[in-house]
Homo-oligomer: A and B are copies of this chain.
């Protein structure tokens, strides 16, 4: 989303949209950084990396559960899994009990891939977070939660009275 160079971001005083704007820029950079790392070490998209991680934790899952878990769009996850399936990282099989569902699980190759990438991604996370001390980190996440709350209220106010 953003342009890398630029010595001076300059003013931007009246952006009546500041948090969203600031977060958009930060998020775009974090994203680009993660995607770059992933591309450098694998063929996974960021979404696929997250699916890999979630599947590693869950052991076995299905799309709907992954949607709930990651809170991503189901179309996006469906396509993400499709790609991983084609790459042999996951296998999809029918659920005996409920034939709408599919059982998704990592293949050994998928597990290996996850183990290979984990140190890289964890290192990145650590590197970034090292710039905040423990208290800052906690407060940062609290602030994120607070903004989520604000949005919850805003949506409640407009949609369901």
Contacts and interface: CB of A to CB of B under 8 A. Distances in A.
A16 interface: yes
Interface in A51-93: 53-54, 56-57, 67-74, 76
Contacts of A124: 17, 154
A45 B143 CA distance: 27
Contact of A74 (B3, B22, B31, B74): B3
B29 A148 contact: yes
Contacts of A155: 4, 33
Copy number of this protein in the oligomer? Answer: 2
Nearest to A32: B151
A34 B149 CA distance: 16
A145 to B, nearest CB: 9
B129 A19 contact: yes
Interface of A: 1-4, 6, 8-27, 29-31, 33-34, 46, 49-50, 53-54, 56-57, 67-74, 76, 118, 121-122, 124-125, 127-132, 136, 139-144, 146-151, 154-155
